[in-house]
Amino acid sequence: MKTYLFKTNINCGNCLRSVTPFLNENEHIKSWQVDLDSDDRILSVEGDDKLTAHDVTVSVDEAGFDAREIERA
């Protein structure tokens, strides 16, 4: 299982409702959540070995939001 982290502009419950169908339709995403309490609105995504960070950014972009992958140290 892979885990990716993204800084997003998803900042409220309505935003979550908007992005949900786009992330849920990706069969390689197993779970995801957005930390609305964080100033960076961190989206964490867990997926299978076929999931790429690009897949996630495309899904978020299609929903009308931005997601920039956070590089891990």
CATH of residue 7's domain is 3.30.70.100
Q: Which domain holds residue 32?
A: 2-69
With cut-offs at 50, 70 and 90, classify the pLDDT of residue 71. confident
> How many domains does the chain divide into?
1
Q: State how far the alpha carbon of 39 is from the alpha carbons of 11, 13, 42, in Å.
A: 9, 15, 8
Specify the pLDDT at position 72. 64
Pairing label, strands 2-8, 42-47: antiparallel
**3-56 pLDDT, tens per residue?**
999 999 999 999 999 999 999 999 999 999 999 998 989 999 999 999 999 999
